[in-house]
Amino acid sequence: MGRKKIQITRIADERNRQVTFTKRKFGLMKKAYELSVLCDCEIALIIFNSSNRLFQYASTDMDKVLLRYTEYNEPHESRTNNDIMETLQRKECKQGAGVDSDDDFSPPPTPTGLINSNADLAATVALAAAHHHHNGGGGNSVLAQQMAMLGQQQNN
């Protein structure tokens, strides 16, 4: 017997939200590990919780993966929460019409979220790195720069 489908909305109760975050964070990292091993790919996950605490997972060296990311100038797939929600809604519509789809996250019919260059984020990276350093965030400046870039891309 399967579990009931939950509504994907913010969990109001702080304790339940924290427990869910901890469990799902581990599940996400486990899936990332499995994908990296099964499909021989490099993966980097960066997670900030609601308290601005950083959690990260990398299948190899995080700094090397993030440096590779910033130097990558080719168009590539980039997904947002909205893209995922649209894909899930299309899947539900297909299933409601009796169409069975094995491809849970098929690409949208038109390209969305393609990023042509990371060069336009250079100013943001420099500003974020300076802000990170100024606020006592020493240590891993490459990581700070990469996180700033990821945040900027998510906001676009």
Q: Which two tokens stand for residue 75?
A: 């168009």
Concatenating the DSSP letter of every residue in 19-38 gives: HHHHHHHHHHHHHHHHHHHH
Over 50: is that where the pLDDT of 123 sits? no
pTM: 0.58
Rounded Cα–Cα distance for residues 110 and 94 (Å): 18
The string of pLDDT tens digits covering residues 34-62 is 999 999 999 999 999 999 999 999 999 99
Q: Which residues does residue 58 pair with via DSSP β-bridges, in sequence order?
A: 44
Residue 46 · residue 56 · CB < 8 Å: yes
pLDDT for position 80: 95
Over 60: is that where the pLDDT of 16 sits? yes
Q: Which two tokens stand for residue 90?
A: 């299309």
Q: Which fold has domain 1-60?
A: SRF-like (3.40.1810)
The string of pLDDT tens digits covering residues 70-121 is 999 999 999 999 999 999 999 888 887 765 544 555 554 434 444 444 433 3
- Which of 13-22, 27-36, 130-139 has the lowest average pLDDT? 130-139
pLDDT for position 61: 97
Q: Tell me the domain boundaries of the chain.
A: 1-60, 61-75+117-156, 77-114
The confidence band for 6, taking pLDDT boundaries of 50, 70 and 90, is confident
The answer for residues whose C-beta is within 8 angstroms of residue 153's C-beta and 6 or more apart is 78, 115, 121
User: Which of 49-53, 125-129, 146-150 is the most confident on average?
Assistant: 49-53
pLDDT for position 134: 38
Mean pLDDT of the region 126-153: 44
Over 50: is that where the pLDDT of 126 sits? no
